[in-house]
Amino acid sequence: MTPGESPNLTKIQENQQQTETSQSDMDIIPSSIQGEEIHVVHLCRTTDYDGYGFRLQYNKSYFLVHEIENDSPAAKSGLHVNDIILSLNQQLTENMSHATFVELLTDNSNLDCIVQPFEKFLHSNHPATLNRQAISIISTDHNNDDKKTLKMRFFNAWRKLIRR
């Protein structure tokens, strides 16, 4: 804030900058990526940290963030456990090999990742895979199970369907 400038004006300008930044983030999301809660995460490798600080679980359909190290660039960027990485530096990860993904990670010190929470990814991209067999596996009587157990049962049932 400069002398004579109103604190309210400063807050309005800061809010406008945040809105512009989020709008520019939305501009880099390709039209082929659609669904709920899709957002951009900017990862920057630093000299005082080895790597980006996250681990992936890979299957042939997606790259799932499995673990994030405390105080890592990934943790500071807003990447979350169970985020699906849909794109790296404007390259779609669908049908991308693990080797290509790792190459993009190692060759770049700045990454723009388009991500989506796993649960939203399932609903947006694979509703047809949830057939009656999967639903019956998921919806057997588990009234005493907590939410984590139900999520894990759902994930395992979904993974069995994808392997077919």
Is residue 150 in a domain?
Answer: yes
- Same domain for 88 and 35, yes or no, is yes
The Cα angle at residue 9 between residues 8 and 12, in degrees rounded to 5: 90
- Same domain for 49 and 65, yes or no, is yes
**pLDDT tens track for 66-116:** 999 999 999 999 999 999 999 999 899 988 999 999 999 989 999 999 999
Is the pTM above the cut of 0.85?
Answer: no
CA atoms within 13 A on the CB side of 123: 8
**pLDDT tens track for 105-140:** 989 999 999 999 998 988 877 655 444 344 434 444
Structure tokens at 70: 């405390």
Structural contact between residues 72 and 44, judged by C-beta atoms closer than 8 angstroms: no
What is the reported pLDDT for 68?
Answer: 95
Question: What amino acid is encoded at 120 in this protein?
Answer: K
CA 54 vs. chain centroid, Å, equals 12
Is residue 1 in a domain?
Answer: no
